[in-house]
Amino acid sequence: MDSPLVSIACVTYNHAAFIRQCLDGFVMQKTDFPVEALIHDDVSTDGTADIIREYEQKYPDLIKPIYQTENQWSKGVNVSMFNYSRVRGKYLAMCEGDDYWTDPRKLQKQVDFMEAHPEVSLSCHPYETIKGTNQECRVTSRSDVLQTQPDGFFFTQEYAFCHEWITKTCTSVYRYSALNLEFIAQFKLSRDVHLVYGALAKGKGYYFSFVGAVYREHAGGIFSSLSYQQQLLTNSAVFRELYQVERSPLSAKILYGSYAEVVRSQIKEGQPIAEPENEIEMKVFFEMSEPYRLGKKLLANKLFRLLYSSIKHVCRLWRKLFGSRRH
């Protein structure tokens, strides 16, 4: 087999009910370039590895698995690094074992565009969400920007993190040279956030209009199984770690927005506010406190501003008339 132009990274654990759809999505890709699928099974106990072996035997030039003998995730290991470190392609596509692709020309479309636009380091597209194995109930997630730019649009690092999170693992193709594995490996809370952040620091993103994948929510999903409140807290912890490493204006802005969302949700639900852990979170905590918000509300009131201005004017006049008589 020639050197692949695209390497697909897929991590899986106990996905026996879903993994066939995922692997079929790789097999069905129609491309004019070689592709490899790097699969990492973290000692599944439900027969997932047996299904992968079946595909490995049938498609040996495509399916390239690692079968762990000890569960790595439980040891705190970033299991994605096992795949990232053996990428041979110019581009890295992503799809976890419980998600799957639906467009047989997904890779061809994304790679053709990125080959023609070397300034693009990440491309992604809309996707559908299903719950478990229910194929009937599908919700399509697509950016509202497509209403004015229906063919697709470029986006920046700041747009992705501060305006609209428009990517999912199963939609993303990265320019591998834009990824810094040392940067990614230093984070204990491993998420796509670090790939997206690093890639968009090196180039632009591009969002296509076609729907090309399905994201699956199910009880065994690491993130999708969390409650909304837990998801907010998880995101905030990830962005806190990013800020601790980066200490940049953008990482501060991202953390500010994420922690503010946590606090806003906890206030709404009448829950104790998550304790701030750094100066950015302390700023949010102070600005969303009741006295501060009451003060801002008062200052937004025209009558209060007029009264406040009048009192200041009287005080200045008093000092002018009587201040000089003090001894």
DSSP string, 12-34: ESS-TTTHHHHHHHHHT---SS-
pLDDT band at 294 (very low <50, low <70, confident <90, very high): very low
The C-alpha angle 264, 266, 270, rounded to 5 degrees, equals 120
pLDDT band at 298 (very low <50, low <70, confident <90, very high): very low
pLDDT band at 170 (very low <50, low <70, confident <90, very high): very high
Mean pLDDT of 115-143: 88
Residue 269, classified by CB atoms within 10 Å of its CB into exposed (0-12), middle (13-18) or buried (19+), is exposed
Look at residue 134 in the predicted model and tell me its pLDDT. Answer: 66
Is the predicted pLDDT of residue 137 greater than 70, yes or no? no
67, 62, 96: which is closest to 80 by C-alpha? 96
Coil vs helix vs strand at 98: coil
The whole-model pTM stands at 0.84
Q: Cα–Cα distance between 232 and 297 in angstroms, integer? A: 27
CATH superfamily of 6-217: Spore Coat Polysaccharide Biosynthesis Protein SpsA; Chain A (3.90.550.10)
Q: Find where tokens 């990830």 sit.
A: 238
- 94, 131, 218 from 22: Cα distances, Å: 11, 15, 15
Q: Which helix (H) or strand (E) holds 128?
A: strand 127-131
Look at residue 283 in the predicted model and tell me its pLDDT. Answer: 84
DSSP string, 249-307: HHHHHHHHHHHHHHHHHHHHHTPPPPPP-SHHHHHHHHHTSHHHHHHHHHHH-HHHHHH
Strand partners, 39: 10, 65
**DSSP H stretches of helix in 121-272:** 157-162, 181-185, 192-202, 228-246, 249-269
DSSP string, 49-90: HHHHHHHHHH-TTTEEEEE-SS-SGGGT--THHHHHTT--SS
The C-alpha angle 112, 130, 103, rounded to 5 degrees, equals 20
Tokens standing for residue 36: 């490899």
Mean pLDDT of 117-146: 88
Is the predicted pLDDT of residue 32 greater than 60, yes or no? yes
- Which of 47-51, 253-257, 319-323 has the weakest average pLDDT? 319-323
- 33 contacts 111 by C-beta, under 8 angstroms: yes
Mind listing the pLDDT tens digit for each residue in 201-245? 999 999 999 999 999 987 666 665 677 888 888 889 999 999 999
Give the Cβ contact number of residue 243 at 10 Å: 23
Coil vs helix vs strand at 139: strand
- 43 contacts 71 by C-beta, under 8 angstroms: yes
- 23, 97, 306 from 54: Cα distances, Å: 11, 15, 77
Domain boundary assignment for the chain: 6-217, 228-288, 294-325
Q: Which helix (H) or strand (E) holds 214?
A: strand 213-217
Q: Cα–Cα distance between 53 and 100 in angstroms, integer? A: 18
Tokens standing for residue 220: 């065994």
